Each structure stands twice: as C-alpha cells, then as structure tokens.
Chains A and B, each alone.
Chain A
C-alpha cells in the first residue's frame, strides 16, 4: 500500500511538473524556460480558460496566444481563480492551466502560450510559405489575412475543419475628451517565410504588447469548426 502511494505521488508530481514547465508544441519552440520574474498583484480571474489566461497575460505586460480543442460545440467550462498578491506569473499561469486537464504552457521572448496537452493543434503547425505584414496594422486585420492564406485554408480543408461563423468582436473606442484621430503609425513591414502558423501568430502579437491570439476548435453537429481571433488587444 505504502509503495502504491509513493508511485501515485511520483506520478502526480511528474504530471504537475509537466503542466508547469515549458514543453515543445512545435519544432520551433524551446524545450524549457526559466522564471519570467514577473510578480502579480492580487487578482480575481473569472471566465473560460482562455479569458482567464488573456487577463493574466495583460496584467503581466506580456503578449500571448491560446489554443483550445473543445470536446463539444461550446467554449468550455468557466471557472474562477484567486491569485494572491506576490504570486509569480509562472505560478498563476500554471494555476489557470490546471483548470483544464492536459493543458500546457510556455513563455518565450515575451509571448506566453497556453496549449492543449498534445501541443499546438495541427492547423497551427501548417507551414506558411511567405507572409508579409505591417506592424502598424491592427492585429485583428493581420489575423484575418492569415486565416485566409491559401495554405491555411487548404490545410483546414484537409483536416476536415470548417470555419466557425465570424461574429464580429469588441474593441475600445473614444467616447469623450479628445477623440481626434491619432496619426497613423509608420508602416513597418515584416516578412515571415517557411515557418509555422503558430510562429507567425506569436511574432504578430509580440509586436503588440498585451495582445493575445486565440485558436479554438469545436465539435459541432455539422462537423469540427475552428476560429482564429484576437482575445485581447
């Protein structure tokens, strides 16, 4: 009996370690990372796994991306987590990741990713031949172009994925005070070639601190749907 408890405890510790350390979801991601060194204030997180993660990433002043593979035709269960003042970002993300079995996370170059246990979903691993984007363009527009790349659309079709209805979204807007149009930022073109969609998404949000991309799959009556959107910006 004692032996069984030791084995079970070892398994649990190994599982927890797996949930809290970086993994290798794509060929281009690191094996591990050290502590982010970011300490958080007291936080009350509420919502789905994705929204709690996005709120944490914003609070930490990072950028991020989250991929979820839902077993049903819904966004996944909601929950709430209390983060006490002084908790490290790493520990808080691990807390969020553990709300859904088999989630893993990583942090690289200021971009935090929360992924299913098996790593980045297949569509995010498709190789983008060449993609030129402007750092001054809003992220939503860049992600819309990425979603419509021929190689992405072809891969989605091969994987049997259908586009989830595109239902708009929310953004802040000036409603009082000086609402005069701000001068547009200067064009800063970037070209990514022969890298995964996952890598391009991370590079895009890296250029916009506080922005989090979201990729979701849903098992619905009419097949498996996918969506690619901006969770926060």
Chain B
C-alpha cells in the first residue's frame, strides 16, 4: 500500500500489486495447440521452430516444439515489461546437454518456443536403438538487476525408445 499526500492532506491509499515472474506454463499458438507441437521423426530433413525457421538441416532424429508463457506469483500472465530469460538444464542423463540460451522477452506480446530435439547430422549421427536423453528444463528471468528463478520445471525425454522415436514432456509447478 502506498499513501500519498497533496498539500498536506492525505489521499486515499492505493494498493499496488507488483508482479514477479514466478512460473511458466504451456500456451496455445499456431502449430502447438495447448503449447505442444507434434512429435516429428526426421530422416535427412529440417528441424523447424514454430516461426517456421530452420534450426538444423540434414537432420536425423526426432523433435518437438513447445510454447510457453511467463506467469506471476498469482499464476496470471505478465502482460507488461521486458525481461531477459536464461534457460537452465539439469539432471541431464547424457551430457553435455543443450547449451542454455539467453532470450529477451517482451511480455506484452511474447512467450518463447523451446524446440527439443535428439540427435544429429544425417547419416553419421542418427540415434541408435535405445539412444535417448532425459533432462529437466527451467528458466531464470532477470528484470533490471534482479534475478528470479522460476519454480516451474519441465521433465523432457527424447530419442529412440525400443525402436520408436518419441519426445515426452511433464510440467511441474509447485
């Protein structure tokens, strides 16, 4: 609550709610209803993000696109301001794991697209039988000079499981 005075007279107190980036959740966008795109096995083809841009060409493996938005401490979307997001990967079953990326997100219009893929350039680096990886995915958001570690974690698995190419995701928000 902030109390202001004008000419010595106290004005009616006003409550301010300060939104803090605290969680994230799947968000529906074209190509990823409910925040999840189709599971796409690829043999000598492209890995495309949800903007339709090529991430990798001559690929061999499997991938899936996910779309996320940031929520505040009351689980409402943040609709104003800009922050720098940094990906956090942990519990990586097959190291070294993905390189964390740094993104500038304008909350008024933007969320982010995470593309989870496994494995490499055709034909040398195709996934072998039962060649797969699991990892936990999180995000920190920096607003000004304050860093917020988002509480949400997504557990991904991806690769070849008993001969089937698959990607799974399980989102946990405490």
Contact surface of A with B, Cβ cutoff 8 Å: 41-44, 46-48, 50-51, 54-55, 58, 70, 73-75, 80, 82, 138, 140-141, 144-145, 148, 163-179, 210, 212, 214, 216, 218, 220, 225, 227, 229-232
B124 interface hit (Cβ, 8 Å): yes
Q: How far is the CA of A211 from the CA of B65 in the complex (A)?
A: 22
Residues of A with C-beta under 8 A to B108: 176-177
B38 interface hit (Cβ, 8 Å): no
Q: Contact between B67 and A218 (Cβ–Cβ < 8 Å)?
A: no
Residues of B with C-beta under 8 A to A58: 84, 102, 104
Q: Contact between A227 and B101 (Cβ–Cβ < 8 Å)?
A: no
Q: Contact between B99 and A214 (Cβ–Cβ < 8 Å)?
A: yes
Q: How far is the CB of A178 from chain B (nearest CB, A)?
A: 8
Known: A44-B142, A177-B109. A141 touches B115 (CB 8 A): no
Residues of B with C-beta under 8 A to A145: 57
Q: Contact between B140 and A168 (Cβ–Cβ < 8 Å)?
A: no
Residues of B with C-beta under 8 A to A54: 102
Q: How far is the CB of B105 from chain A (nearest CB, A)?
A: 6
Q: How far is the CA of A181 from the CA of B142 in the complex (A)?
A: 28
Closest 8 CB pairs of A and B: A168-B115, A168-B117, A232-B102, A175-B111, A167-B98, A42-B145, A177-B109, A173-B113
Known: A163-B121, A165-B119. A171 touches B99 (CB 8 A): no
B4 interface hit (Cβ, 8 Å): no
Interface size class of B (residues with CB under 8 A): 35 or more
Known: A171-B103, A175-B69, A225-B96. A43 touches B111 (CB 8 A): no
Q: Which of B45-75 contact A (CB under 8 A)?
A: 47, 49-51, 53-59, 61, 63, 67, 69
B20 interface hit (Cβ, 8 Å): no
Q: How far is the CB of A169 from chain B (nearest CB, A)?
A: 6
Residues of A with C-beta under 8 A to B124: 163
- Could you list 9 further interchain pairs (A-B, Cβ under 8 angstroms) beyond the known A138-B53, A166-B59, A178-B109? A74-B97, A167-B116, A168-B114, A171-B51, A174-B29, A174-B109, A175-B29, A231-B102, A232-B102
Q: How far is the CA of A172 from the CA of B102 in the complex (A)?
A: 10
Q: How far is the CB of A158 from chain B (nearest CB, A)?
A: 15
Residues of A with C-beta under 8 A to B119: 165-166
Residues of A with C-beta under 8 A to B50: 173
Residues of B with C-beta under 8 A to A50: 99-100
Q: Contact between B87 and A144 (Cβ–Cβ < 8 Å)?
A: no
User: Can you name 15 A-B pairs with beta carbons within 8 Å?
Assistant: A44-B142, A48-B100, A54-B102, A58-B102, A141-B54, A163-B124, A167-B97, A167-B133, A170-B112, A170-B114, A173-B67, A173-B111, A174-B29, A227-B96, A231-B101
Q: Contact between B103 and A170 (Cβ–Cβ < 8 Å)?
A: yes
Q: Contact between B110 and A174 (Cβ–Cβ < 8 Å)?
A: yes
Interface of B is mostly: strand
Q: Contact between B115 and A166 (Cβ–Cβ < 8 Å)?
A: no
Q: Contact between B102 and A166 (Cβ–Cβ < 8 Å)?
A: no
Q: How far is the CA of A178 from the CA of B142 in the complex (A)?
A: 25
Known: A165-B120, A167-B118, A231-B101. A75 touches B112 (CB 8 A): no
Q: How far is the CB of B123 from chain A (nearest CB, A)?
A: 12
B125 interface hit (Cβ, 8 Å): yes
Q: Contact between A171 and B53 (Cβ–Cβ < 8 Å)?
A: yes
Candidates A44, A173, A216; contact of B29 at CB < 8 Å: A173
Residue of B nearest to A76 (CB): B96
Known: A70-B96, A144-B54. A44 touches B147 (CB 8 A): yes
Residue of A nearest to B58 (CB): A148
Q: How far is the CA of A80 from the CA of B114 in the complex (A)?
A: 25
Known: A168-B116, A170-B87. A55 touches B102 (CB 8 A): yes
Q: How far is the CB of B58 from chain A (nearest CB, A)?
A: 6
Q: How far is the CB of A182 from chain B (nearest CB, A)?
A: 10
